[in-house]
Amino acid sequence: MQSHGRLSPPTGPSQPPARKTPAYQPLVIVLVAVCGGIACDRLFPLPLVFWWCAVGGGLLLWFLLWRQGHLTVAAAALLVAVAALAGAWHHCRWHLAPSDDLKAFADRAARPVCLQAIALSAPRPLPAPKDNPMRVIPLEQRAQLLVRPTAIRDGQQWRAVSGRCRISVPRELGEVRPGDCLMLFGQLSTPLPAMNPGQFDTASYLRGDGVLTVLRVDFAEAVTVARQGSRLNLWRSLAHLRHRGKQVLEAHLDPQQAALASALLLGLREQVDSDLAERFLKTGTVHLLAISGLHVGTLAGFALCIALWLPVRRSWAVLAVAAVTVLYALLVDARPPVVRATVLVLLSCWAIYIGRQPLGFNTLAAAAIVILAVNPAELFRTGAQLSFLCVAALIAAGPLAGHADYSPRLQRLLEANRSWLGKLEVKLRRFVMGMAAAGAVLWAITLPLVMNRFHILPTVALVLNPLVWLPAQ
């Protein structure tokens, strides 16, 4: 039977269609609106009622335009409402504080107080201070922990307070775990702001975390555990597990290696010697000391290989990888780079489970929205900026790195006529060139921010970063 119409040209063996990254990634647009609202409230503080009116007005305008079929303008009105909601959330976190906050009893000058508080973290030892022959009184080794004050002694009575307070205690402090009820005697004050250009602003950093006061305790006897916390407290169990891991590392490694291993595996970066941390900073590899996507991705990949090797269904393997990643994120205190990597891993696991291809920028935007929802002040912190900037650069440079010099059909023909040694040589060359290109792209993208914040030019990072990435690959 003769067919009518134009005959289709002959085709070779069927090839799977090339996957193209969709141009429409809506969460990126939402993230831009969220960042705009937060930045607007930080730079131009407006009353909270203005933000709530903007949220209500934007939602009302969106509903009316949507009912009339003006979808594009309705989407713009909805983005305005999202930006206003982000601005209101940042205003509540940055500009407002409860009337009974402990800051009402603190000033720039330290004053003696007696506090009752609930420990939110275990004490983290700080690195030993450098020896300075010009210092008359040597500095002692100390530790820090975060507490939630519940009452302050006012004469013969106790007054209820709230908020968060950072405590500086002697390093030989006894065992304190999250959830413990503490009695504290020390010097209460507000954090000092930056006094010189380029100096780290401790007050602004702590303010972003909701910490408006600091308490210095000079004697270990001034900290007593009035009541231990519940053993069912998740953070208490994680702190105990972290402490046990630190003890195992200290028992099998020398002190400097144990401190470095604690930073790389458990997120205990505070214990790294200041000289060693400065060398990491000058060489542009300081990101290795912070638990980030490199560590979480390596753990998730290793867990996935083990799970797929076991005789279990693929859905259960993906679920196990997600559970391991979440537990590790909680173990290392779930800092922003860890949360970003964890969200990326979870969304990738979900995409594998439902058989969809994850969208790079859309997934990254989802991680950023989660982090800003937890703490909008992360938008202005160098660590979060570098973390997302690096991942965004890698996602953008990914298609360029995978570009082939030949057509797909010619490329398959060349691959088929190569020996196994030639194929290995080609794969190795592509891998090395890809690592070098990724390192150069990240170095160039992050260089302006690094120079502005840290005042260094880490040229050696062009060589060191690809080398330290090789074990993870």
Judged against a pLDDT cut of 90, whether residue 252 lies above it is answered with no
For residue range 79-125, what is the model confidence (pLDDT) as tens digits? Answer: 999 999 999 999 999 999 898 999 999 998 999 999 999 999 888 88
Q: How confident is the model over 313-334, as pLDDT tens digits?
A: 878 888 888 899 999 988 888 8
Three-state secondary-structure class, residue 226: strand
The Cα 75–Cα 56 span in angstroms is 15
- Listed ranges 280-284, 331-335, 371-375; the one with the highest mean pLDDT: 371-375
Check: CB of residue 285 under 8 Å from CB of residue 277. Answer: no
Give the C-alpha distances (Å, rounded to integers) separating 346 from 96, 318, 319, 322, 341: 33, 9, 9, 6, 9
Pinpoint the alpha helices (H) of 283-380.
293-309, 314-331, 336-354, 360-374
Cβ atoms of 391 and 293 within 8 Å: the answer is: yes
* Residue 401, C-beta contacts closer than 8 angstroms, at least 6 positions apart: 434, 437, 438
The better pLDDT of the pair 239, 415 is held by 239
CB neighbour list of residue 64: distance below 8 Å, 6 or more residues apart: none
pLDDT, residue 7, reads 41
What is the reported pLDDT for 3? 44
Count of residues making up the chain: 473
Predicted local confidence at residue 468, as pLDDT: 61
Mean pLDDT of the chain: 82
Q: Say if residues 50 and 83 touch (Cβ distance below 8 Å).
A: no
- Is 4 a residue whose pLDDT tops 70? no
Name the nearest CA neighbour of 439 among 459, 471, 461, 472.
Answer: 461
Dihedral sign for Cα 138, 141, 144, 149, please.
negative
Quick count: other Cβ atoms within 10 Å of Cβ 111?
A: 11
Please, which pLDDT band fits residue 240 given cuts at 50, 70 and 90? confident
pLDDT band at 300 (very low <50, low <70, confident <90, very high): confident
Note whether 37 and 83 are within 8 A (CB).
Answer: yes
Q: What is the pLDDT of residue 12?
A: 45
pLDDT digits (tens, 9 = 90+) for 157-187: 999 999 999 999 987 777 888 999 999 999 9
The fraction of the chain above a pLDDT of 70, given in percent, is 82
Per-residue DSSP letter, 153? E
- For the chain, percent of residues with pLDDT exceeding 90: 33
377: nearest Cα among 51, 92, 48: 92
| Model confidence band, residue 465 (pLDDT cutoffs 50, 70, 90) | low
Long-range pairs, 202-210, Cβ under 8 A, ≥24 = 205/381, 206/166, 207/94, 207/377, 208/93, 208/94, 208/375, 208/377, 208/378, 208/380, 208/381, 209/164, 209/375, 209/377, 210/93, 210/163, 210/164
Q: Yes or no: say if 158 and 152 are a contact pair by the CB < 8 Å rule.
A: yes
pLDDT tens, position by position, 254-275? 877 888 788 878 877 776 777 7
User: DSSP letters along 49-83, please?
Assistant: HHHHHHHHHHHHHHHHHHHTT-HHHHHHHHHHHHH
Residue 438 has pLDDT above 90, yes or no: no
Predicted pLDDT at 296: 85
Statement: the pTM of the whole predicted model exceeds 0.85: no
pLDDT at 41: 95
| pLDDT > 70? residue 223 | yes
Are the CB atoms for 184 and 218 separated by under 8 Å?
Answer: no
Contact assessment for residue 458 and residue 450, using Cβ atoms and an 8 Å cutoff: yes
Residue 407: strand, helix, or coil: coil
pLDDT of residue 420 exceeding 70: no
Dihedral sign for Cα 299, 300, 302, 307, please.
Answer: positive
Residue pLDDT, tens place only, 449-459? 888 887 777 77
pLDDT top residue among 267 and 241: 241
- Listed in order, strand segments (DSSP E) in 157-240 are 157-160, 164-170, 181-189, 211-216, 223-227
**DSSP-assigned beta bridge partners for residue 118:** 148, 181
Residue 211: strand pairing partners? 164
Q: What's the angle, vertex CA 49, arms to CA 46 and CA 52, rounded to 5?
A: 105
Other Cβ atoms within 10 Å of 90 Cβ, number: 25
Asked whether the predicted pLDDT for residue 62 surpasses 50, the reply is yes
Q: Which tens digit of pLDDT belongs to each residue from 190-208?
A: 998 888 887 888 999 999 9
Give 392-416 pLDDT, tens digit per residue.
888 887 655 544 444 455 556 656 6
pLDDT tens-digit readout, 9-42: 444 444 444 445 456 788 999 999 999 999 999 9
